[in-house]
Amino acid sequence: MTALPTLHVTALQNLLSPAEVITDADTMAPFCLDQRRRYRGEVFAVLQPRSVAAVQAAMRYCHQHRIPVTPQGGNTGLCGGATPHASVAGRGIILSLGKLNRVRAFSRADYSLTVDAGMVLADVQRVAAENGCFFPLSLASEGSCQIGGNIACNAGGLNVVRYGPARDLVLGLEVVLADGTLVDQLQPLHKNTSGYDLKHSMIGSEGTLGIITGATLKLFSPPQSVLTAWVGVDSIHAAADLLAAVKNRFGERLSSFELVSAHALKLSADYSNSALPLQAAWHVLLELTDSIVGAELTDPLAEVLDEHGWTEAVIALSESERQQLWRLRENISAAQKRIGTSIKHDIAVPIAAVADCVTDCEAALRQRFAEVETVVFGHLGDGSLHYNVFLPPLFDDAVYAYEDEVNALIYERTLALGGTIAAEHGIGQLKNHWLPRVRSEAELAWMRAGKQQLDPHGILNAGKLLPENGTHGFQAVPSK
């Protein structure tokens, strides 16, 4: 460690405490590597503050000395958003929020829960349930991701159809700005029209505008009646028709509507040692919920399916059967790892365009890569897909040599259909060079102005989300 970082470490230990400042290389290593092992950062310290005051003190010092700060929650992101960028190698710190994990307040009247940003999502769900309420945000990584990171990336998950993404589940935020200023908007207000709303700027900002240290979350009545069904259809168009029919019949009681390709299901079934629920080209996993005990859902759903000829269907008759169906959906990500390394895409288009998007992408890929293999699944209920591409015989990290070219094929077609390249995983450092193709010049100018105002020295999560000035979109690499 050079003299200057040593001085900074000593100062930070005095401002916080030695226990809150990690400098041992082996201890820091897991913080510096992203979940997919795509990015490895370098910092001179990892801070684990145990109070909001400590976060403020650290940010004041880093702002004064122009020290880059990488905010980090559970480090479960897939776009390198919580890993220090190469441009700040060795000059910055990671600010880990994991020690800020306490419940602050619960209000039954407001149906709200206020927690520290470092609380693990599964613990938020548990605390809500212990108070007779329901917090609907649900992700595959909920056992390790943290609520602050979920909010910073505007996470979606399995229940977006009914409850919306993280943005719709936040009543208030507490944020420490780059200079250490504390903005406290934790009041559980369900209405507030007094000017611009800072919390909406912070939600989805990926730690580039401030450090989320606390959140007041919107709670709901827990589901008392649940119906889970697996339906086979012959096309994505048919799946979209099914979605419309179920929405029309059940309205807000439709909580989840998942699309799974036959290939994705086969991989998951093999991985899970489970039989296929049924045979079909495409599969839908849907769930209806109601807060009334004993609400009749089975016969009305059977009527909808029968009326439209969707006869290939399985309805869970017990909680164990329900869990088995959901396990098939949730194990897809783990199952495809058995194949090897894929080029992942987190895209969304208008629901009416999902079928065309999949068809167009498949055709473009096959024209370029004859042996391409895709694993397609996702949240058809909100138009978002996980579109993962394998390029046999490359089943290891060598596939990344073609990542730019594959991304261009997928993203060009997604954008042409009015879609986005980031539905719920964020931009991070993986996709920021594509942002000018997704957002207009006016929007980018607005984003940069906000960044300049709130973080004039550019110390917060450098190299993430916003592209470098002058970047106008990705140019595909030449064909190989």
- pLDDT averaged over 10-residue windows placed end to end, the chain, 480 residues: 81 97 97 93 97 98 98 95 94 98 98 98 98 96 96 94 96 98 97 93 97 98 97 97 97 97 97 95 98 94 94 95 96 93 96 98 96 96 96 94 96 97 93 94 96 97 85 35
Model confidence pLDDT, tens digit, residues 98-130? 999 999 999 999 999 999 999 999 999 999 999
Q: What integer pLDDT is reported at residue 393 of this predicted model? A: 93
112-116 and 211-218 beta bridge pairing: antiparallel
Q: What integer pLDDT is reported at residue 84 of this predicted model? A: 96
C-alpha distances (whole Å) from 368 to each of 221, 312, 398, 404, 410 are 50, 35, 17, 13, 12
8 Å CB contact between 348 and 419 = yes
Angle formed by the axes of helices 298-307 and 236-250, to 10°? 140
Q: What integer pLDDT is reported at residue 469 of this predicted model? A: 63
Q: CA 457, CA 60: separation in Å to the nearest integer?
A: 12
Q: What integer pLDDT is reported at residue 182 of this predicted model? A: 98
- Tell me if domain 225-334 and domain 339-434 are identical in fold: yes
Residues 281-290 as b or e (16 or more Cβ within 10 Å = b): ebbbbbbbbb
Q: CA 254, CA 144: separation in Å to the nearest integer?
A: 27
Question: Architecture of domain 225-334 in CATH?
Answer: 2-Layer Sandwich (3.30)
C-alpha distances (whole Å) from 118 to each of 15, 16, 152, 296 are 21, 18, 12, 39
Angle subtended at Cα 256 by Cα 276 and Cα 251, rounded to the nearest 5 degrees? 130
Q: CA 114, CA 390: separation in Å to the nearest integer?
A: 42
CB atoms within 10 A of CB 62: 24
Reduced to 3 states, what is the DSSP secondary structure of residue 312? coil
Q: What integer pLDDT is reported at residue 1 of this predicted model? A: 53
> By C-alpha distance, which of 229, 261, 262 is closest to 245?
229
Cis peptide before 393 (omega within 30 of 0): yes
Q: What integer pLDDT is reported at residue 476 of this predicted model? A: 35
> By C-alpha distance, which of 221, 222, 219 is closest to 114?
219
Write out the two tokens for 452: 């300049």
Q: CA 460, CA 345: separation in Å to the nearest integer?
A: 26
CATH level 3 topology of 339-434: Alpha-Beta Plaits (3.30.70)
| Residue boundaries of the structural domains of the chain | 3-96, 103-218, 225-334, 339-434
Phi and psi angles of residue 147, each rounded to the nearest 5 degrees, phi first:
-65, -35
Phi and psi angles of residue 276, each rounded to the nearest 5 degrees, phi first:
-65, 135
Q: Return the H-helix or E-strand segment holding 434.
A: none
Domain 103-218 has CATH 3.40.190.10: no
Q: Cα–chain-centroid distance for residue 381? A: 16
Local structure of residue 379 (DSSP, 8 states): E
Residue type, 472: H
CATH number, span 3-96: 3.30.43.10
Angle formed by the axes of helices 319-330 and 262-272, to 10°? 110
Cis peptide before 84 (omega within 30 of 0): no
